[in-house]
Amino acid sequence: MLRNIKISSLLFLLLAVFACSDDDVQPLFEQDSDTRVNLLLESYRETLINSEFGWKTVYQPGSNFGGNNIYLNFNEDNTVDIVSDVLGGQNDLETTFRVGISQFPELVFENYTTFHALFEAQNFSLGAEFEFIFEEVNDNQIIFRSKTDISDPTEIIFEKASAQDQEIIENLRDFYSQLEDENNTFRFIRNLVVLNEANEILYNRTFTYFDDLERTAGVTNFDAATGSISTETLPIAVTDEGFRFLQPLTLGDLSITTFVYDQDFGTYTSTDSGVTTIIGYDLAPVATEIIPELASADVNSFGVDFSTYSYFDESFGSTFLSQTSENFINLAKVSDLYRVDMVLDDPFFSNQSYFIFNMNDGSFNFATFTREVIANERVVFTFSEFFGDPDGLINIFALLFSADGFYMTQTNESQFSSNPSYKFTSVAAPNLNFSVYGI
């Protein structure tokens, strides 16, 4: 049986020597180098195959991205069955694998599957791979490093799976909608609060799960005294109980990592560092009063200079206005829309004002509203009537038709002199702001 084997850039021959017991040393040197290498590679292959219930891993393509839960069962015929929580498992295709050697012993997934999908995702920006170099091997754990990350190689660890792990990972696929928006609730302020033993709030932040491929979350702090907003982005991995930050959330001297989901309340709770940290909707107000630093007289001309204001998401490239907050971008993605048009006093529609929600599937939804401009301060939209399919739009409705309304300021984001840009910032949750063109 193989002992722990550490592979480095030293001579591969030495590796083969130390991989064997003392009694095997003499026969080893009686074999030629090709035979020794082939025996070692075959021992790696057998280790992969001989795990009764396969292997599991939390694959983190890079330190800035979250973890992907993947189950692998290697078969004698050099095929491997893969089950993952990546995009609902849509790329969990059976593939063949090869244990071979280039400069170092390597594991290669030969046909398109989840690893290849991650490799291609988001214009190859995740840094994922489908070829891995063996670093350490034993019967219960195999450590690999990425093949092409020369300066900062990614580590991937296979752990021997249990009989339940395949089903557990399949079930994790359903956790992501809960993590995104608690199954489309009619709320938009999602707090992360830290409580002391007396249930007093030590820290009040907002939480946003950003992306199903990058697997990151944003923890945002709003400073009411200055009106400044800052977001820390942390990689996460979903677990069968909730999720964990792969880099701890640090607040003062507190280090917070692991959260457990409570289905009855729709919250995530951590007891790390001896405090209670809860993620949930409407746990505490973000802003309790008007912030003069965010208000502007620009709102006074709202609806006078332009009759339409349009938001475009990141898919529009340079047309996207960059002061839009990550929190709003995510909310729009969860709502499955890519553009919002705000049309004021349309003479072709009985002088009504309305939002047009341009959906990713090519459909359109409409919501009429009335508006009130509070001079030098904000604008409030009041919902009137909806036309279309509201499924998926509940969160963004709650934001747009919040009774507190929006601050409005002109910005310098637009590249077009005839179409200046404006930023709408939620009064109730200033971490949610979006920029538009006046058209």
Residue 61: predicted pLDDT: 93
pLDDT bucket at 395, cuts 50 / 70 / 90 = confident
pLDDT at res. 318:
87
pLDDT in tens, 25-68: 445 445 678 888 999 999 999 999 999 999 999 999 999 999 99
The pLDDT tens digits for 162-220 are: 999 999 999 999 888 778 776 556 788 999 999 999 999 999 999 999 877 899 999 99
Q: Which two tokens stand for residue 174?
A: 């359903």
Q: How far apart are CA 134 and CA 15, in angstroms?
A: 12
Q: Is the pLDDT assigned to residue 1 strictly greater than 60?
A: no
Which pair of structure tokens corresponds to residue 370?
Answer: 């009335």
On the question of pLDDT at 360 being above 60, the answer is: yes
For the chain, percent of residues with pLDDT exceeding 70: 91
∠ CA 273-275-280, nearest 5°, is 120
Structure tokens at 239: 């677990």
- What are the structure tokens assigned to 70, written together? 């993947």
Is the pLDDT at 222 greater than 70, yes or no? Answer: yes
Q: Are 430 and 222 in contact (CB under 8 A)?
A: yes
Q: Is the CB of residue 111 less than 8 Å from the CB of residue 95?
A: yes
Q: What is the pLDDT of residue 150?
A: 66
pLDDT of res. 30: 56
pLDDT of 378 higher than 80: yes
Nearest CA-CA partner of 284 in 206, 213, 398, 360: 206
Q: Are strands 141-146 and 105-109 parallel, antiparallel or unpaired?
A: unpaired
Q: What is the pLDDT of residue 123?
A: 87
More confident residue, 319 or 9: 319
The pLDDT, as a whole number, for residue 188 is 86
Chain centroid to CA 433: 20
Reported as a single tens digit per residue, the pLDDT across 99-153 is: 999 889 999 999 999 999 999 998 888 989 999 999 999 999 999 999 887 667 8
Q: What angle do CA 311, 316, 318 make, to 5 degrees?
A: 95
Average pLDDT value for the chain: 90
Q: Which two tokens stand for residue 260?
A: 């457990």
Residue 18 predicted with pLDDT over 70:
no
The one-letter code for the residue type at 73 is: N
Burial of 123 (C-beta count, 10 Å sphere; 0-12/13-18/19+): exposed
Three-state secondary structure of 252-273 = CCEEEEEEEEECCCCEEEECHH
**How far is residue 405's CA from residue 374's CA, in Å, rounded to a whole number?**
10
Question: What is residue 149's predicted lDDT score, i.e. its pLDDT?
Answer: 74
Which pLDDT score is estimated for 31? 64
Instruction: Give me the residues paired with residue 209 across strands.
Output: 217
In this predicted model, what pLDDT tens digit does every residue of 425-439 receive, in sequence order? 999 999 999 999 999
